[in-house]
C-alpha cells in the first residue's frame, strides 16, 4: 500500500438546490444575479438531519464524507465571520457544517471539506487566469491580494472550528501560486491530505466524471477519482439523468483496484434530504461494495505475470491472497489462466461469497500447434445474475 485508499461520499449542497437544476444554475442557465442571490432568503432546509447522511454513508461502507463548504456561487455553508452570504443568514439560521461535523464525530466518520477557488459573489473574486469565471464580478477590476486574504481567513476558520479533517478539496485550479495557504492548512490540521487543484502542489490528484484509467496501471501517487450519481448535476436536480448502477460500480472497482480512492456524489434537495432516488442508488452500490469484504482497500499490486484468457483483469494482493478484479464483468461463466503460480487452496467469488470450482483442464479453444493447453479453469460464475456488478474473485494460493 503506497497511499490512502478509501470509499467516500461527496455532498454538493447549497441554496442552488432550490432551482432543481444544478449547482451552477446561476451561470449555466444565465440567471440574473438579483434573482439567483435572493434565493438565499428562501433557503430553509428544515428536514436536514446530518446523522441520516452519515448513517447512509456508513451503511454503504464509506469511510469519509466530503462536504461543499462554498461552491462557485460563493455562498458559505458555515457560520463564517467574513461574509454575510452564508447559511446562518438564511431562514434556517443554523451552521450546517457544524451539525455535520458533530454527526461525523459521533459515528466515527472522517470529514473532508471542499472549497471553491472561483467565487461569483465576492467583490474581488474575479481571476482572469482561471476558468469558471462567467459570473464573477469584473466591474471592480482584479485585486488578487484582497481575495486571497479572504480565502486565507475562511480556510483558517474551516481548519480550526470543525474538528479533525481528513482531506481538503480545492476546486478549479486558480493558476496562482501561493504555497502559504497549503502550509497553513497543514499547520492547523497535521496529517491532512490536500488535493492538487489549489494554490500549490497537493498530495493527491483528482480525476473526475467519466475518467477511465488504463487497466492494470496502478496509480503512482495518491489519487481520488470522483463522480456524481447524476450525469447532469452534482447538486440536486429534479428528474436527473442517473448513471447506471453498472457504470458506477465498474468505475469504483477499476479505480480502487488500481490503488485509488473513490468519492461518489449526491445532491441533497432544498429541504435538506437525500431523496430516495439518490439514497437507493447509494445503498445498492454499497451492498456490492460491502460484499467485497475490504478487498478494495489497503492492497498491493500482484506482480505475478498472469495470462488470463479473454478477459481484462486487475490483480491485487492482500493478506496473502490474490484478488482478480473484472470491472466490466467476465465474458462467460468461467475464467482460464494459462500462467498461474500454483494450485489454489480455495477460490471464492466475493459477489456471492460462494466457493468456485477450480481445476487444471485441457481447453480445446486454447491451443498451441493444434494441441489443447492446460489452464487453471475456474468455473461456476453466475454471470447472468451479476450483470450489473463488477466481478471480484479471491484466490488463496
pLDDT value at residue 370: 86
Mean pLDDT, residues 99-126? 98
pLDDT value at residue 214: 66
Show which of 291, 310, 330 is a domain's final residue.
Answer: 291
Mean pLDDT, residues 12-25? 98
Model confidence at 2, pLDDT cuts 50, 70, 90, reads very low
Distance CA 23, CA 242 (A): 16
What are the pLDDT digits (tens) for 254-278? 999 999 999 999 999 999 999 999 9
Model confidence at 1, pLDDT cuts 50, 70, 90, reads very low
Model confidence at 4, pLDDT cuts 50, 70, 90, reads confident
Q: What is the CATH number of the domain that holds 273?
A: 3.20.20.80
Same domain, 389 and 360: yes
What are the pLDDT digits (tens) for 277-313? 999 999 999 999 999 999 999 999 999 999 999 889 9
Same domain, 279 and 321: no
Q: Does any domain span residue 354?
A: yes
Model confidence at 368, pLDDT cuts 50, 70, 90, reads confident
Query: Residue 385 contacts by C-beta under 8 Å, 6 or more apart in sequence?
Result: none
Show which of 291, 319, 338 is a domain's final residue.
Answer: 291
Q: What is the CATH number of the domain that holds 359?
A: 2.60.40.1180
Mean pLDDT, residues 39-53? 98
Same domain, 207 and 60: yes
Task: State the chain's mean pLDDT as an integer.
Answer: 96
Grid-cell match 475562511, residue found: 154
Show which of 233, 259, 291 is a domain's final residue.
Answer: 291
Q: Does any domain span residue 2?
A: no
- Reading the block at residue 288, the C-alpha cell is 456490492
pTM confidence score: 0.97
pLDDT higher than 80, residue 196: yes
What are the pLDDT digits (tens) for 338-357? 999 999 999 999 999 999 99
Distance CA 384, CA 397 (A): 27
Neighbours of 315 (CB within 10 A): 19
Query: Residue 368 contacts by C-beta under 8 Å, 6 or more apart in sequence?
Result: none
Q: Does any domain span residue 329?
A: yes
E strands, 117-272, are 167-171, 193-194, 224-228, 261-266
- Reading the block at residue 18, the C-alpha cell is 432550490
Mean pLDDT, residues 366-395? 94
Q: Does any domain span residue 1?
A: no
pLDDT value at residue 239: 96
Same domain, 44 and 123: yes
Q: Does any domain span residue 311?
A: yes
Q: Does any domain span residue 219?
A: yes
Same domain, 27 and 154: yes
Same domain, 167 and 62: yes
Same domain, 277 and 314: no
Same domain, 75 and 196: yes
Distance CA 278, CA 282 (A): 6
Mean pLDDT, residues 161-172? 98
Same domain, 111 and 211: yes
Same domain, 143 and 20: yes
Mean pLDDT, residues 25-38? 98
Same domain, 56 and 175: yes
Model confidence at 3, pLDDT cuts 50, 70, 90, reads low
Q: Does any domain span residue 149?
A: yes
State which residues form the domain around 319. Answer: 300-396
Percentage of residues of the chain with pLDDT beyond 70: 98
Tell me how many domains the chain contains. Answer: 2
Same domain, 334 and 367: yes
Amino acid at each position: 500500500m503506497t497511499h490512502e485508499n478509501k470509499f467516500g461520499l461527496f455532498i454538493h449542497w447549497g441554496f442552488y438546490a432550490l432551482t432543481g437544476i444544478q449547482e451552477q444554475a446561476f451561470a449555466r442557465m444565465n440567471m440574473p444575479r438579483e434573482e439567483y442571490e435572493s434565493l438565499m432568503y428562501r433557503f430553509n432546509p428544515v428536514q436536514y438531519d446530518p446523522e441520516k447522511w452519515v448513517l447512509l454513508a456508513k451503511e454503504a461502507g464509506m469511510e469519509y464524507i466530503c462536504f461543499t463548504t462554498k461552491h462557485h456561487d460563493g455562498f458559505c455553508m458555515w457560520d463564517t465571520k467574513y461574509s454575510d452570504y452564508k447559511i446562518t443568514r438564511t431562514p434556517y439560521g443554523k451552521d450546517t457544517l457544524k451539525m455535520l461535523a458533530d454527526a461525523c464525530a459521533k459515528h466515527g466518520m472522517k470529514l473532508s471539506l471542499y472549497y471553491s477557488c472561483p467565487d461569483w459573489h465576492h467583490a474581488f473574486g474575479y481571476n482572469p487566469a482561471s476558468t469558471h469565471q462567467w459570473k464573477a464580478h469584473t466591474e471592480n477590476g482584479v485585486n488578487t491580494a484582497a481575495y486571497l486574504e479572504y480565502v486565507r481567513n475562511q480556510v483558517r476558520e474551516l481548519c480550526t472550528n470543525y474538528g479533525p479533517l481528513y482531506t481538503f478539496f480545492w476546486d478549479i485550479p486558480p493558476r496562482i501560486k501561493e504555497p502559504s495557504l497549503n502550509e497553513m492548512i497543514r499547520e492547523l490540521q497535521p496529517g491532512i491530505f490536500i488535493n492538487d487543484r489549489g494554490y500549490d502542489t497537493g498530495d493527491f490528484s483528482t480525476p473526475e466524471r467519466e475518467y477511465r484509467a488504463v487497466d492494470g496501471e496502478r496509480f503512482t501517487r495518491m489519487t481520488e477519482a470522483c463522480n456524481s450519481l447524476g450525469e447532469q448535476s452534482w447538486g440536486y436536480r429534479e428528474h436527473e439523468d442517473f448513471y447506471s448502477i453498472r457504470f458506477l460500480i465498474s468505475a469504483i472497482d477499476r479505480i480502487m483496484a488500481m490503488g485509488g480512492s473513490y468519492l461518489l456524489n449526491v445532491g441533497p434537495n432544498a429541504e435538506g434530504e437525500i431523496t430516495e432516488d439518490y439514497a437507493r442508488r447509494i445503498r445498492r452500490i454499497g451492498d456490492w461494495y460491502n460484499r467485497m469484504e475490504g478487498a478494495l482497500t489497503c492492497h498491493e499490486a500482484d506482480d505475478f505475470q498472469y495470462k488470463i484468457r479473454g478477459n481484462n483483469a486487475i490483480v491485487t494482493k492482500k493478506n496473502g491472497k490474490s484478488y482478480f478484479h473484472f470491472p466490466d464483468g467476465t465474458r462467460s461463466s468461467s475464467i482460464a489462466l494459462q500462467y498461474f503460480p500454483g494450485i489454489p487452496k480455495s477460490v471464492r467469488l466475493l459477489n456471492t461469497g460462494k466457493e468456485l470450482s477450480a481445476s487444471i483442464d485441457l481447453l480445446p479453444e486454447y491451443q498451441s500447434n493444434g494441441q489443447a493447453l492446460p489452464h487453471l479453469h475456474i468455473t461456476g460464475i453466475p454471470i447472468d445474475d451479476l450483470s450489473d456488478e463488477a466481478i471480484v474473485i479471491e484466490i488463496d494460493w
